[in-house]
Structure 1
Amino acid sequence: MKQTVLVVGLGLIGGSIALALQKSPNVRVVGFDANSDTLQSAKVLGVVQDVTKNPEETAKKVDVIIFATPVNATLEWMESLKSWELPTATIVTDTGSTKSLIMEKAYDLRENGITFIGGHPMAGSHKSGVLAAKPYLFENAYYMLTPLEGEDEEKINILQNLLEYTSAKLMRVSASEHDHMTSVVSHFPHIVAASLVHQLHAEGADNPITKMLAAGGFRDLTRIASSNPILWRDITMQNREQIAGQLADWQAEMKRVEDLLITGEATQIEDYFAKAKSVRDELPISSQGAMYMTYDLYVDVPDYPGSIAEITAYLAEEQISITNIRIVETREDVFGILVVSFQNADDRERAAACIQKRSPYEIYIS
């Protein structure tokens, strides 16, 4: 069955969905973006097959509309939808990282005869914008769908079948379940990371050397604190109740840790770390979770001129793309001094095999 899809918002997420859907010969993707330069780039790069400057008019002839815009912008688009002339079979979805506000608005659309099925692909990149869009961005990532209660199963299946081309792991949950789970594994950890960086900054006034020592494991631990502050301002405000609940649980846990430090014996403290290690080691490693992750490869290279260039040359010769490269100066709890990051696990495995084959350097995957 031929389908026409309108993607509104052609940044990293919207552009990547548009590219993924083009894997199907039966899908035609039309794009819109408020930024005219982005719209032109999307057309020239083939991110979409066609573009429109009038999404309301184009929506009269499409099967699926995907709002790949920030949640606040999506809410505005949803309000506009009430006056649009949409075919009764049209399915509308979004990619927002919080769902409760979106799905409350979806009830209003249902009263207007519009089918809205919430969505959230849990994937990302260190880059943003249409130029960073990749058709494989969502491979092995979770893609959450949040339909309203009593939604037409046939329409949910149509949307799921379309999104299969993203190669993501589709999962159906309620909006409240989604916002609770993401508060636990994504939203609250961002606040913790930011708080750790603030604590380091305060410490730096009296002990400036501490900041230098943070170049290793601390930097990796708090990587997510470098995320877009406007994006995380909005996410925090939209999901503040769930995040506040996590903060209360965290404070109770920190009180337990404080008591353990003050009155606990060595075996109790060891048990605390052992339990954390056990739970952490059981976490899945074959798929992306709720936060963007990098696939890091540690290379124990000697400290002489040209060694890093040698490694990157090997990877270039085998056309293995890297997303980041850095030298780790502090080696506590970190294997190797050269850290090379990749977009996915396959590229990391290829790189590991390449370096093992061509050099004597030891490599590690942490």
Structure 2
Amino acid sequence: MGKQLFVIGLGLIGGSLALAVKKDHPDTHVTGYDLNKNVMKAAISLGVINESAPSIEEGARHADLIIVAAPVKETIEILRELSSLPLKEEAIITDVGSTKKAICEASHVFDHVSAHFIGGHPMAGSHKSGVEAAKSHLFENAYYIITPVKETDARAVIQLQNWLKGTKARFIQLTPGNHDFFAGMVSHFPHIVASGLVHQLKEEGEKEPVLNNLAAGGFRDITRIASSSPVMWRDILLSNRDVLLGLIDKWQEEMNKVKGYIEKEDAERLFEFFDVAKQSRDALPVRKKGAIPSFYDLYVDVPDHPGVISDVTAILAKKQISITNIRILETREDIMGVLRLSFRSENDQLLAKEQLTKHMYEAYESP
């Protein structure tokens, strides 16, 4: 038998890592554990794992690599449990937590054993969840942060990257503190802002219901990330408390500046505020995966004619291009309507654009 991988937590991330390892290391035997027995059964039937473990102790006993794919709080508890078990000599343990400082501090429980803990955070995801959505290519071209500490064996870090090279991710090493600040800035804090905007809409929408209808377009799009798991984000914010408190303070300062510009009717400063934001955003990488999952949307102009939507979907279905979501943004009598099609990957998006253009549809990537 080849090497043994044990995955604790068979959701989207744990399942996708298992598939990526299996694809690149086909001789690896993958064992999985999840609190939900039905999830373990599904993981076996989908080929994500080879077998399920009745307990963490049983699954970890012979593992060469252990991946803990659980929320931060649960991960810390699992690390404590693993540190008390008779693990394999030189076994590598890693996690996928969205914050690293608390987890890496907790990992000192392994200081006096032969196993090596290396913090990890694959910065990729999907708008779907669960093992059913697991894909071996989920992390392709995404940033995969590794956070070794001073005591970490450099050889173990290399071995972990060799284990995970099938993800085709871009590995970066950061200190746990730097990771938490960077992730707080580009992922955690934007979720707070998006959720705050939705809260404000809810409050005002209860007074003026028409607001909810108006928000069905652009507002709903820019706040899409607010639809993420409340449990997950509660735990992330609490585990990255100090960083986020600082970022919130800076945000409030920025908003107070804008408020002052508006009160003083300072047109020059307002223009500068939006101009700098536009230039900075336009300079950001377009084709790279970042901390927030990308939305692979395609906009299609369609005539006001019966059957046009079924024609569009049929063209794509014929080429086996899957649509994850379809929405009518505008449809009025005697004018062109707009469909927004969402896809799983950039490749599907580009193939769809190519096929629809061949059939005389106007398809574009931004409205």
Could you say which TM-score interval applies, normalised by the shorter chain?
over 0.9
Q: TM-score, normalised by structure 1?
A: 0.95
Kindly indicate whether the alpha-carbon contact (under 8 Å) linking 2:21 and 2:163 is maintained by their aligned counterparts in 1: yes
Superposed, 1:294-313 pairs within 5 Å as 294-313=295-314
Kindly indicate whether the alpha-carbon contact (under 8 Å) linking 1:216 and 1:330 is maintained by their aligned counterparts in 2: no
- CA deviations on 1:132-191 (whole Å, 9 max, x unpaired) are 111111111111111111311111000011111111111111111111111111111111
SS in 2 for 1:283: coil
Percentage identity across paired residues of the two chains? 48
The Cα shift of 1:330 comes to 9.6
The residue aligned with 1:365 is 365
The residue aligned with 1:8 is 8
The residue aligned with 2:28 is 27
Give the residue type in structure 2 aligned to 1:70: P
The residue aligned with 2:168 is 167
- CA deviations on 1:31-65 (whole Å, 9 max, x unpaired) are 11121111111111111122222331332222100
The Cα shift of 1:336 comes to 6.5
Superposed, 1:99-110 pairs within 5 Å as 99-110=100-111
* Aligned residues: CA RMSD: 1.8
The Cα shift of 1:82 comes to 2.1
Distance 2:90 2:109 in 1: 17
The Cα shift of 1:114 comes to 3.0
Distance 1:229 1:60 in 2: 34
Kindly indicate whether the alpha-carbon contact (under 8 Å) linking 1:213 and 1:330 is maintained by their aligned counterparts in 2: no
Unmatched 5+ residue regions in structure 2?
A: none
The Cα shift of 1:243 comes to 0.8
The residue aligned with 2:229 is 228
Give the residue type in structure 2 aligned to 1:229: P
The Cα shift of 1:2 comes to 4.1
The residue aligned with 1:70 is 71
Kindly indicate whether the alpha-carbon contact (under 8 Å) linking 1:10 and 1:33 is maintained by their aligned counterparts in 2: yes
Q: 1:118 to 1:336 in 2, by over 3 A?
A: farther
Distance 1:207 1:304 in 2: 34
65-74 vs 52-61, which moves further: 52-61
Superposed, 1:198-277 pairs within 5 Å as 198-277=199-278
The Cα shift of 1:70 comes to 1.3
SS in 2 for 1:5: strand
Kindly indicate whether the alpha-carbon contact (under 8 Å) linking 1:300 and 1:338 is maintained by their aligned counterparts in 2: yes
Distance 1:171 1:190 in 2: 23
Give the residue type in structure 1 aligned to 2:66: I
Distance 1:302 1:169 in 2: 43
Distance 2:110 2:147 in 1: 15
Distance 1:198 1:173 in 2: 34
Unmatched 5+ residue regions in structure 1?
A: none
Kindly indicate whether the alpha-carbon contact (under 8 Å) linking 1:122 and 1:290 is maintained by their aligned counterparts in 2: yes
The residue aligned with 2:339 is 338
The residue aligned with 2:290 is 289
The Cα shift of 1:276 comes to 0.6
Superposed, 1:119-138 pairs within 5 Å as 119-138=120-139
SS in 2 for 1:89: coil
The residue aligned with 2:156 is 155
Q: TM-score, normalised by structure 2?
A: 0.94
Give the residue type in structure 2 aligned to 1:215: A
Q: 1:144 to 1:153 in 2, by over 3 A?
A: same
53-62 vs 167-176, which moves further: 53-62
Distance 1:176 1:310 in 2: 52
Kindly indicate whether the alpha-carbon contact (under 8 Å) linking 1:298 and 1:336 is maintained by their aligned counterparts in 2: no
Distance 1:2 1:157 in 2: 19
The residue aligned with 1:59 is 60
Give the residue type in structure 2 aligned to 1:194: S
The residue aligned with 1:44 is 45
Distance 2:317 2:324 in 1: 13
224-233 vs 320-329, which moves further: 320-329
Number of residues of Structure 1 aligned to a counterpart in Structure 2: 362
Kindly indicate whether the alpha-carbon contact (under 8 Å) linking 2:91 and 2:114 is maintained by their aligned counterparts in 1: no
